[in-house]
Amino acid sequence: MHEARATSGQRKSWQRVTCLVSGGVLGLTLATSATAAVPMGPNTIADLVAKAAPAVVNLDTVKRRANPMGDLDPFFHGFLGSEHRGLPRYFEQKGVGSGFVIDPQGLIVTNHHVTRDAAAITVTLPDGRTFQGRVIGQDPETDLALVSIDAKGLSTLKFAERRAVRVGEWVVAIGSPLGLSTTVTAGIVSALKRSVPISERVEFLQTDAPINPGNSGGPLLNLDGEVIGINTAIAARAQGIGFAIPVETARFVVSELRQKGKVERPWMGLFIALDASGLRVSEVSPAGPAARAGILAGDVILELEGKKVSATTDILRAIGDRRVGDEVRVALSRQGRRQQLILVLGVMPPEPQKPRSEAAGRPDAPPEDE
């Protein structure tokens, strides 16, 4: 089971966050077709489920893993016994996850954990039909992926409109915990903008709607039957603390994956070191966006688009939902004097240049996937 530990600076009641994996894999899916608003009343959730559940699917995956005993030198088999001779070099690891359809032609959103290294993906619809899934795009940095199946006329879900999600509003989760497909649970949004070690680029929704291994990738719905989040992780040592990727992040990433098969992530082209002065620019990539904007090593970044920044994650999130070519107002301090520059975001290179000094700090590039 994939685990991510909180940093020592995070004062959380939970100590470990566990991705919602069943059998070593994770699952998920999203959607984009109109779902009619559900009238409020004693059967609100039942009516919502009747409309939304047909778009939620089950993903079974098979991954090929190297057998650590398979490559033993024949010399050692004499010590282990003849039954160890001819051990297979690989074994299959099975997993189950959730997902939901966003296009009636068979486009499904799920977690990257579900599809990563999968040799085979079987998608099962609520009506029992099964299809072989094909990955058409994935983004490790936000744990999202798109899977396609050869089907038509499927039920779909849609992303919630751009409105503020409020703490305390009712939500419904649908998925396949422990492989139990079309399982429905309900709760509330417990908190917003949670930092979870799984991803520095995502400010997660927190919910107390019960979710378990296998739920990952399933939709978190508001009472209008719209997707407001994608269930992704739970606090391993807690009850009723789960985390979902917010719709704003999912909408941008899914659009990129759908068009290009990858996320063309915006890039500032600078390296940051956190010291007593704040977010100090330790190095600027030659001919990169920051260099073209006139940012110099030694400058201290104060604000992006009028919002104060005090950590590298603030920078990642400030530009995370922007696109290549967008202009960003950067307020900085240079030798104690405040300046404001306009930076045009570039395309992040596949492997951003590392700073020459190991002490220079991490770049505004994504962390390596675990």
Q: pLDDT of 203-229, one tens digit each?
A: 899 999 999 889 989 999 999 999 999
The secondary structure of 273-322 as a DSSP string is EEETTEEEEEEE-TTSHHHHHT--TT-EEEEETTEE--SHHHHHHHHHT-
Q: Which of 60, 143, 299, 364 is catalytic?
A: 143
Q: Which of 181, 190, 216, 282 is catalytic?
A: 216
- Annotated active-site residue 216? The verdict is yes
Give the whole-angstrom CA distance, residue 268 versus residue 260. Answer: 21
- Torsion over CA: 338, 339, 345, 351 (sign): negative
Question: DSSP code of 114?
Answer: H
Q: Which of 113, 139, 190, 195 is catalytic?
A: 113
- Annotated active-site residue 143? The verdict is yes
Contact call for residues 131 and 187 (beta carbons, < 8 A): no
Beta pairing partners, 118: 63
266-360: CATH homologous superfamily? PDZ domain (2.30.42.10)
The secondary structure of 219-269 as a DSSP string is EEE-TTS-EEEEEEEEETT-SS-EEEEEHHHHHHHHHHHHHHSS---EE--
Q: pLDDT of 336-360, one tens digit each?
A: 999 999 999 999 887 554 443 322 2
User: How far is residue 295 from each of residues 285, 309, 339, measured CA to CA in Å?
Assistant: 10, 16, 10
- Is the CATH number of domain 1-66+89-263 2.60.40.10? no
Six-digit token string for 231: 């269930």
- Annotated active-site residue 2? The verdict is no
Confidence of residue 73 (pLDDT cuts 50, 70, 90): low
Angle at 209 between CA 36 and CA 195, to 5 degrees: 105
Confidence of residue 72 (pLDDT cuts 50, 70, 90): low
Give the whole-angstrom CA distance, residue 77 versus residue 14. Answer: 45
CATH 2.40.10.120 residue ranges for the chain? 1-66+89-263
CATH 2.30.42.10 residue ranges for the chain? 266-360
Contact call for residues 56 and 230 (beta carbons, < 8 A): no
Q: pLDDT of 47-68, one tens digit each?
A: 999 999 999 999 999 988 777 6
Q: What is the pLDDT of residue 34?
A: 38
